[in-house]
Chains A and B, each alone.
Chain A
């Protein structure tokens, strides 16, 4: 049962074949059986999840009108506040903090009766591509436990691949939903910036952060997308427009007559041969399904990584100033006569990990007087150039595509001491965040050389998110008929797995 898609689970709930309490318990049992190996979760809310499941079962019994995913369990990235539930962002500075309010995403999940199982592991404050920067230890990739599950949302992606949850919430600042999806053989979507409220999403880089759905199928992602998206008066950057019709697009999966643009700069040198081979194969399948494949060029994308590693640290140095040891979270050195400043300095020394400190210092430098124009100012100009590249490309093509990541999952520890090598993981995902458009990653198979999952990325213009789902669902269907079974049915079984 836990290996079903979320929509299959929803049908079984609707027909009365299973109750939400049974379904939730089955997932809690799986978590108990495998999470010691995977470490996808930081907190499991057994009592809360079962209570929520019982409540939805009662509503169903009473004949209440329910939303499509009512009663289906979900794993929540630990960067989202949930009232009364520990929210750490993978950081020691928030250890033990229980937020007094729900994020809008959580409020929407509850409104849709989606059962929240617990909070998933992540790189500290979403800064990283491997989940190794979590203060609570790394998450392991269920395909190969010695490898990274991607990051920052490695916990959410690993929970899906380990059948600990059929749905999860992620957040994506430079690829933190899409890259983990790619390396775990799952689906992840970064909606258009402003499509999903940021209220209660602990901010890393406010102009780039966006929450989105993680799932095992394109249709499941679409159902979750519609459940969490929409205008929110509590977020001034939330777009006040109807949610794109992503479920209808995922159900139709039609690419006939669509123009699909291959981004020349996001393929080639530096991309693993097995990644390129799966990408080419997917293009052939899309062409066979009736899409027209064209090549587009985005010459300024090569500067995206450099600009990102100025903009994101600059914004984080400002956002993370709120962790000042005064109103919540850790406080260190509060002895008789100690000044507020020394308490702040000591708390932030102990509370923040290495990568977070590195980025705060880099951002402080990029924003400092005398360097502002050369670094932050120049990065903002690159942002304009990248957006212009996208605009030109979307004049030629309806969507753009590329491999999601240059390589498959690397070994835990392999890049931990080389920040620049680590940053290169995000080379194909970052441009999307810079322009605020939508991006999706779905599995395109495994690489011949290592048997590990490869991701296929689809990018769509602002508020045209439904196009990603049309293309994603079409490719998913073609691949499924080629393979005969979903990719995750081939994942090696974890010890003790149900």
Chain B
């Protein structure tokens, strides 16, 4: 049985950039005990000799001629911006953190 403690979930939530209340962390940690048990079944058949499939198609790099085509106007590109300034996205401070 795999289980995730409240603190484990808090760490994952931090990595996923989601603030979570204590109540939510505890609830998720309880649910994960059940969910992880169910999904861990994949290990029963995933032997050394089985190749992994990451995608249904045999993906190859695709090339095309480098042709100039119209792109979004600055106005369109900024149309959904939560905040903008001087035709740019205005974002909160990203430097000066630890």
Contacts and interface: CB of A to CB of B under 8 A. Distances in A.
Query: Which of B18, B41, B81, B94 counts the most A-chain CB atoms under 10 A from its CB?
Result: B18
B51 interface: yes
A361 B59 contact: no
B18 A380 contact: no
Given A300-B45, A334-B82, A348-B19, A375 B39 contact: yes
B50 A384 contact: yes
A259 B88 CA distance: 60
Contacts of B92: 334, 338-340, 342-343
B39 A361 contact: no
A327 B93 CA distance: 14
A374 B93 CA distance: 38
Q: Is the interface of A mostly helix, strand, loop or mixed?
A: helix
Contacts of A434: 56
A381 B50 contact: yes
Interface residues of B, number: 52
Query: Which of B16, B34, B81, B89 counts the most A-chain CB atoms under 10 A from its CB?
Result: B16
B57 A239 contact: yes
Nearest to B14: A345
A368 B12 contact: yes
Interface stretch (A22-30, A167-175, A301-309, A452-460): A301-309
A328 B80 contact: yes
A348 B20 CA distance: 9
Contacts of A380: 52-54
A416 interface: no
Given A327-B80, A339-B97, A344-B17, A236 B50 contact: no
A328 B81 contact: yes
Contacts of B13: 361
A193 B57 contact: yes
B26 interface: no
Given A331-B82, A379-B42, A309 B52 contact: no
Query: Which of A305, A306, A331, A341 counts the most B-chain CB atoms under 10 A from its CB?
Result: A306
B22 interface: no
A29 B78 CA distance: 36
Given A233-B64, A327-B80, A381 B19 contact: no
Contacts of B53: 380-381, 383-384, 387
B93 A339 contact: yes
A366 B35 CA distance: 12
A327 B9 CA distance: 28
Contacts of B31: 358, 419
A383 B57 contact: no
A357 B40 CA distance: 20
B81 A337 contact: no
Contacts of B35: 309, 362, 419-420
B39 A340 contact: no
Interface string A305-335: 1110110000001000100111111110010
Contact of B19 (A233, A326, A345, A382): A345
A303 B45 contact: yes
A378 interface: yes
B91 to A, nearest CB: 5
Query: Which of A346, A348, A364 counts the most B-chain CB atoms under 10 A from its CB?
Result: A364
Interface in A74-122: 97-101
Given A98-B80, A348-B16, A379-B42, 19 more contacts: A207-B56, A237-B55, A237-B59, A310-B42, A327-B81, A331-B83, A339-B97, A348-B17, A348-B19, A358-B28, A361-B32, A364-B16, A374-B40, A377-B52, A378-B46, A380-B53, A381-B50, A382-B46, A435-B56
18 contacts: A100-B76, A207-B54, A207-B55, A303-B42, A306-B39, A306-B41, A339-B96, A340-B91, A348-B16, A357-B20, A357-B24, A361-B16, A365-B4, A374-B43, A378-B42, A381-B50, A384-B51, A420-B34
- 7 cross-chain pairs, A with B, having the tightest CB-CB distances, nearest first: A436-B56, A328-B80, A331-B82, A378-B46, A380-B52, A349-B19, A100-B76
